[in-house]
Amino acid sequence: GQQVMQIPQYQHVQEGEDFTTYCNSSTTLSNIQWYKQRPGGHPVFLIQLVKSGEVKKQKRLTFQFGEAKKNSSLHITATQTTDVGTYFCAGHGGTSYGKLTFGQGTILTVHP
């Protein structure tokens, strides 16, 4: 079945440093989504990437979708303490029900 690998599992940064998490799918994806889960909270939708090579920005967050639609990355510039949480990528294989396969997540801690 479809697998989505995400690295790193943990990332500790000083406030102001950049952060990147990477996802790789075992199969070509229809689209990929990114979610953020704060400690003790539930996943919150951030963005969806659909097109090959697509790049989208949300303030300090930059999302990329690979040319082959099998990998993706999330980059945060100049991290802030509010960025703390777990970032998940989730791949959609194109089924009509919209089933997502989640990566393992990257737990980000930001030291002030």
Partner 1 sequence: GAVVSQHPSRVICKSGTSVKIECRSLDFQATTMFWYRQFPKQSLMLMATSNEGSKATYEQGVEKDKFLINHASLTLSTLTVTSAHPEDSSFYICSARPSGRTYNEQFFGPGTRLTVL
Q: Does 19 help bind partner 1 (rule: CB under 8 A)? A: no
Cα angle value 33/73/42 (rounded, 5°): 45
Chain positions 45 to 104 lying near partner 1, rule: CB under 8 A, are 45, 48, 88, 92, 97-104
- Judged by CB under 8 A, which of 91, 105, 108, 110 binds partner 1? 105
- Half-sphere exposure (Cβ direction) of 41: Cα atoms closer than 13 Å: 12
Instruction: Give me the least distance between CB of 34 and partner 1, in Å please.
Output: 10
Nearest to partner 1 of 28, 77 (CB atom)? 28
Joined together, the tokens standing for residue 55 give 């790049």
Q: Does 31 help bind partner 1 (rule: CB under 8 A)? A: yes
Dist. CA 67–CA 84, nearest whole Å: 29
Q: Are 49 and 56 in contact (CB under 8 A)?
A: yes
Per CB under 8 A, residues contacting partner 1 are: 1, 31, 33, 35, 41-45, 48, 88, 92, 97-105, 107
